[in-house]
Structure 1
Amino acid sequence: MSMNAPMKARDIMHADARCVPADETLDRAAEMMRNLDVGALPICENDRLVGMVTDRDIVVRCIAEGHDPSRVRAGDLAKGTPRWVDADAELRDVLHMMEEHQIKRLPVIENKRLVGMISESDLAKNVTDTQLAEFISAVFVPH
């Protein structure tokens, strides 16, 4: 890579991303999150990204609504089209997508497969202070 080549999603992502199967129960998804020390997992069905589940989703959309996390499937929380970025996307495009859609964690896809995740900590290591401040002000809005 030349010194002037723009940084790509693959350069900043963490590559050890794991999927929770869409048919897996939320109690198992929570165990995966604990074991991996993450707050969100991509939901995959037949090796395809179908959504994301966060620890907050499990609490707010399952437990707080009186549902049993051992009976609710991760796929039940997958709604809409999941946002993702191609591994060759430039850093500025990654930042733009995360800011525009207020996304804190972004799956990275290559050849239709999940190859990594980009989180705010990955950004913090790879962007300028100004870019990070803009990201934080765009994404971390008060409820």
Structure 2
Amino acid sequence: MPHDPPHDPTRPVREVMTRPAIWVRPDASLVEAAQLMRAQDIGDVLVASDGEVLGVLTDRDITLRAVAEGVDPLAVTCHAVCTPDPVTIGPDEEVAEAVALMRRHAVGRLPVVEAGRTLGVISRGDVTGPP
């Protein structure tokens, strides 16, 4: 069955990113974050305060950095477990640059930030097209 080709690498990130970015407070518990991920059917959330992205928390982070370590998911904060200081990209950058950043930093998603405000997230799935 044919499918659409991957996105044009010269398109701006804003045309393929997922909006809006889903985020949690730094002091939110891992349970709160996991419940939000389940409700939104997503595998990651941004950890943000006053619009500033502090980190990215993935379902994998919760599993490997908390559950596998025996940490109480009600007692530990999202900020304590997230990947801090995430690599970001601007909305007018080309998709090719997003792909290059993901490869260079071995990440699957990038917050899209303009003038200190988070607009959305671009992920591998956004840039590769449907399976």
Cα displacement (A) at 1:79 = 4.6
TM-score by length of 1: 0.79
Aligned equivalent of 2:72? 68
Which structure carries more relative contact order (alpha carbon 8 Å, separation 6+)?
2
1:96-111 counterparts in 2 under 5 A? Answer: 96-111=100-115
Equivalent residue for 1:24, pick from 25, 28, 52: 28
1:47 and 2:56 correspond: no
TM-score by length of 2: 0.86
For the residues of structure 2 that align with 1:31 and 1:73, how far apart are their CA atoms? Answer: 14
Aligned equivalent of 2:6? none
1:1-143 counterparts in 2 under 5 A? Answer: 6-125=10-129
In the alignment of these two chains, the number of paired residues is 121
Contact 2:57 2:83 (8 Å CA) reproduced: no
Aligned to 2:21, what secondary structure does the other structure show?
Answer: coil
Identity %: 33
> What are the superposed Cα offsets for residues 78-132 of structure 1, whole Å, 9 maximum, x if unpaired?
3542111011111221111111111111111122111111112211129xxxxxx
Q: Could you list the runs of 5+ residues in structure 1 that have no partner in the other structure?
A: 1-5, 127-143
- The answer to which of 42-51 and 71-80 deviates more is 71-80
Aligned amino acid, residue 106 of structure 2: Q
RMSD: 1.5
For the residues of structure 1 that align with 2:37 and 2:84, how far apart are their CA atoms? Answer: 22
Q: Could you list the runs of 5+ residues in structure 2 that have no partner in the other structure?
A: 1-9
Aligned equivalent of 1:138? none
For the residues of structure 2 that align with 1:67 and 1:80, how far apart are their CA atoms? Answer: 19
Aligned amino acid, residue 64 of structure 1: A
Aligned to 1:86, what secondary structure does the other structure show?
Answer: coil
Cα displacement (A) at 1:43 = 0.7
